Amino acid sequence: MPSGAVRQAIRCVSSSLHSTTLRAQTTMAAAMPDPLPVRQKTPLVTEVGKEPPGPAMKTNVPGRESLRLKAELDKIQNTDAVHFFVDYANSRGNYVVDVDGNIMLDVFTQIASLPLGYNHPKLIAKMSNPDNMVTFINRPALGSFPPADLVDKIRGTLMTVAPPGLQHVQTMACGSCSIEHGQKAMFMAYMRRERGGKPPTAEDLETSISGQAPGCPKLSIMSFNGAFHGRGMGALACSHAKWFHKLDFPVPDWPMAPFPKLRYPLEDFVRENEQEEQFCLEQVEDLFETYRQKGAPVVGIMCEPVQAEGGDNHASPAFFQGLQDIAAKNNGYLLLDEVQTGCGVSGKFWAHEHFNLREAPDVVTFAKKMLTGGFYYKQEQKATEAYRIYNTWMGDPSKIMMLEEVLNVVHQNDLVNNAADVGQFLLQGLLDLQKLYPGTMKNARGLGTLVAVDFPTTAFRNSVVITLRNKGVNAGTCGEAAMRLRPSLIFTKSHASVFLTYLEATLKDLIPGRKV
């Protein structure tokens, strides 16, 4: 049985949790956090309560109240994706509380979108400050009527964490529209270059309205098998993870390259993984030529630093360096989709900073933990006409205001380095469990807290996630048989130990008679 700091920490937490959880389950009212002060007539902006001492379950999940609400909602819309209904007022930090009173450690955090967990005191204070009320009430059409403080707010937030080498940023509302406007930025830059910097002709303008060439040229963007970039049609065209994302939807004939399928542990398969990545890079090179011959030249490559929805698939820095070189060789651009990997979770603020690229990517998209969507870009990708990169809201100043506080907390508490440290602890704990259950767990992998592990089948993976949730830990899934973890930036080694303790208990339940 493995020993060391991780196992020792887990044992200590397990012992503490055993007594704590028993007390919490028998006296649930004491364990439940106090309601948020915003329910009171006079809000108390600093007293928001502490995290629960640990998971405490009243029912299986979903419980009776979640099922009742789901049935009601199903009369209005499809609810097949609903896991459970949340009591957001009583959720705290890394713990989510459902409407049946179950307290769960949340290592999925609203599909990787909560930077500071639930109801962080600093964000409550920001929301409760009367001076900020105007920003929350009056949502402007930013492209035409921006507020006076927008420049200072963007410089004080998004530009302070801009990827090295990128001096421009455009806010958007969500990940999918960030991707699609990033695609448009690449298309426009490509065609400006093709026209030699000259303005479009009258024919270009006229034919564009009817969607015909030359105004709407036949161009393409290369993406990867296993990718997921969003559900808007442009983002969907570059997504190749699961059938339910794309079934029945017409998409353009754009190239899909193979993404490396690395073998683990990495140190045991160095040569094989190098060969796999080289094969994939050769396919990328070939697809540039194939689509050039088809009359639909590739204007750029779009890729996630870690393929999330597709299975938490990783590749080496050398692979991404190769992508950048191939794109440049073929007069194309490189867009890196950091919607799920940005905001410090990888142990660097942007995951692509691990890759030691020779220069910045041309476009970097963001959303989720950044609270606002948007994309960074180079001067070449900057729009040269009005309304080309545009929609009504183009983001939301209130989200930038909240991001300002998030970044303050991140910097003051060194949360990027915390993600690196806790992520290593978490990964080592999974590797230890993997040794205990070699036929059950495999391919534990991670970058910061972007951590995942595979199980033998989809059905068994689902059983693990459901059993784990019923014990008091809410985790996520991805790919065919992977469980992924997407905790908040305030996730600590103590929280990681809770997760590992409950995961081991889950495996013992699902593999009866297993001696460890």
Distance of CA 412 to the CA centre of its chain: 23
Contacts of 100 (CB under 8 A, 6+ apart): 58, 59, 61, 62, 63, 64, 65, 66, 84
Pair of tokens at residue 403: 């991001």
Pair of tokens at residue 278: 């080289």
HEC readout, 199-210: CCCHHHHHHHHC
Q: ∠ CA 410-56-445 to the nearest 5 degrees?
A: 50
**β-pairing, 256-257 with 442-447?**
unpaired
Residue 244 host element (H or E): helix 243-246
Question: Would you say the C-alpha torsion 137, 388, 231, 445 has a positive or negative sign?
Answer: negative
Q: What residue has token string 């915003």?
A: 38
The Cβ of residue 283 has, within 10 Å, a number of other Cβ atoms equal to 18
Residue 199, phi then psi, degrees to nearest 5: -70, 160
Q: What are the catalytic residues?
A: 228, 337, 368, 392
Distance of CA 194 to the CA centre of its chain: 35
Q: What residue has token string 């009005």?
A: 386
The Cβ of residue 23 has, within 10 Å, a number of other Cβ atoms equal to 15
Helices (H) and strands (E) in the chain, counts: 17, 14
Instruction: Reduce the DSSP state of residue 82 to 3 states and report it.
Output: coil
β-pair partners for 363: 335, 377
Contacts of 498 (CB under 8 A, 6+ apart): 13, 17, 54, 55, 105, 473
The Cβ of residue 181 has, within 10 Å, a number of other Cβ atoms equal to 25
Dihedral-angle region of residue 390 (phi above 0 means left; psi in -120 to 50 means alpha; beta otherwise):
beta
Pair of tokens at residue 422: 């806790």
- 153 HSE (CA, 13 A, CB side): 22
Distance of CA 434 to the CA centre of its chain: 25
Distance of CA 237 to the CA centre of its chain: 19
- Output the DSSP codes for 385-449: STTSS--SSSS-HHHHHHHHHHHHHHHHTTHHHHHHHHHHHHHHHHHHHHHHSTTT-EEEEEETT
